[in-house]
Structure 1
């Protein structure tokens, strides 16, 4: 039973490889056989292109392609189709693009002939942002209301779920139901540096709040022993399940 929980826990942790190819490949090799997911973000994808997704898939990883697509619907439809064609299992878009853009992303993702249906998730409010940050860009409503509004818009227009901070996970789990993907960056083990994150929680806290997947980057990738750190996070998640 414990091994089953650890296997499920490992499938909930997405390791963010926000670094160059050499470092990303070295980390992936260390975590092979343990981690199930890696995140390829803009830093790595813009440097290496679609081949980097294919590489990690060939090594047995599932890939969250975190490109945060945000443009006119026509462009996003084409970009989503191209992104999913790389082999990505999850693709992120910005909920701020509106209903038509979310629908276009869904249509683009669905246009690819894949054995496994790609999942599209929408960014609500970036985990580095605070209430004060929202006010500086003209969003005067409470941060949690903005998160709920964008989550509802995205998931009623074809998104499979959302990206939010752990602080909003419980609220969105209740709002979106049991099947929605709720992917939470801003996960920091106890004692870890916050970096540029402002709305954070521990791995256990995020899981208990309703997150389906945790994105963990620097606490693992910058650790002296990334494998031991990953194992400790998986153990914590398994206890929380």
Structure 2
């Protein structure tokens, strides 16, 4: 049995701190308490003074997914990932271009930082891919980038749970498959186009689920988190 299959629902649930102030993020962490052990910090919070939270949450025993989706020349990506590792993040992202992924893999080696290649954003559909100049559809591009991520030696990928059954066999057993766009029963899709329920995502091969609005915008955040964890446990 590989390490990914042994993760508990608490290890697999990543709550997105998609808020615009450090104070609001800290309040959410306090409210969720021990129920949640993994948080995502992206552009919205990171550029609003949230980067120091990476180290603070790590010192509290929480894991942090710093979702910055790096893409630049190889040296710049490599140095950026080195800095992210120094912050204490457990996961980070680069766009899944082979050169960027290879540079990130070099920087993360020996640090414990898991680098994820972002395949295709979950807000995009086939027509968006064609508009951007790619041939084929979403699933074709996700499959190509999953293969390239495995070859580059990074720690995992980010993909919609709709593509999880397609790409899981293409990854090494130790690679993470992190799926945003997770919506529990009754939740609205928002600006996401490729959404999946928590249980379905896990059954499809996802190792980690990123959930933001269904928890942080809920009147009872702790109750919402516990409901999703229960659905994950049932799967």
TM-score by length of 2: 0.94
Could you tell me which residue of structure 1 aligns to residue 70 of structure 2? Answer: 69
Residue 12 of structure 1 is matched in structure 2 by 12
Gaps of 5+ in 1: none
Where does residue 185 of structure 1 map in the other structure?
180
The answer on whether the counterparts of 2:150 and 2:172 sit within 8 Å (CA) in structure 1 is no
Q: Determine the C-alpha separation between the residues in 1 that align with 2:50 and 2:25.
A: 14
Partner secondary structure for residue 238 of structure 1: helix
Quote the RMSD (CA, aligned, Å).
1.5
- Which whole-Å deviations, capped at 9, do the CAs of 1:181-220 have from their partners, x for residues lacking one? 0000000001101111000110001011010000000000
Residue 198 of structure 2 is aligned to residue 198 of structure 1: no
Alignment equivalent of 2:206, drawn from 205, 211, 215: 211
Who is 1:156 aligned against? Answer: 151
Q: Structure 1 length as normaliser, TM-score?
A: 0.91
> What are the within-5 Å matches in structure 2 for residues 114-193 of structure 1?
114=111, 117-193=112-188
Structure 1 residue runs of 4 or more that deviate by more than 2 Å after TM superposition: none
Matched position secondary structure for 2:168: helix
User: How far did residue 140 of structure 1 move?
Assistant: 2.0
**Cα drift, residue 42 of structure 1:** 1.2
Unaligned stretches of 5+ in structure 2? none
Paired residue total: 229
Stretch moving more, 136-145 or 173-182 = 173-182
Q: Please, which of 202, 224, 227 is the counterpart of residue 222 of structure 2?
A: 227
Deviation (angstroms), 1:91: 0.9
